[in-house]
Amino acid sequence: MKLLAKNDSLCIGCGECEEACSKTYFKEVNQEKSCIRIKDKTINVCTQCGECIDVCSVAAISRDKNGIVRINKKICVGCFMCVGFCPELAMKMHGDLLEPFKCVACGQCSKVCPTHAIYISEEA
């Protein structure tokens, strides 16, 4: 299974990953609409741990056949419990959206990271 991985010690805080993410999903450069947050050269990104699945009271969050945790926007009621519960601080919310959003390990961020601080890892 391919997952997004990180090495904080390589992060230079350039924000290229945040920009690539927001452009990929929301077609705009907006740090608040990025699934990735860089703060003090620490990368907050979803590790696909799945802990959010258990806190979703309407079963809108599940793991797909590739192991990626996804949100079904048709089922989500926008309670944002998953955002508050996420141990990685990787479940996001924005005032323009009715439901949370998160990384789905698309890899666009890893393609633009100049130091390879974010990369795709092959997990067993």
pLDDT band at 28 (very low <50, low <70, confident <90, very high): very high
What pLDDT shows up at residue 17? Answer: 96
Q: What is the pLDDT of residues 65-120, one digit of tens each?
A: 989 999 999 999 999 999 999 998 889 999 999 999 999 999 999 999 999 999 99
Neighbours of 15 (CB within 10 A): 14
Tokens for 66?
């590739």
**CA 60 to CA 41: how far, in whole Å?**
32
- What are the strands, taking DSSP E only, across the chain? 2-6, 37-39, 42-44, 61-63, 69-71, 118-122
Which of 57, 54, 63 minimizes the C-alpha distance to 102? 63
Confidence (pTM): 0.87
pLDDT band at 41 (very low <50, low <70, confident <90, very high): confident
Whether the predicted pLDDT of 2 surpasses 90: no
What are the beta bridge partners of residue 122?
A: 2
**CA 1 to CA 47: how far, in whole Å?**
12
Tokens for 98?
């009715």
Q: Which domains does the chain possess?
A: 2-122 (3.30.70.20)
Q: What is the pLDDT of residues 43-58, one digit of tens each?
A: 999 989 999 999 999 9
> Do 58 and 75 contact (CB within 8 A), yes or no?
yes
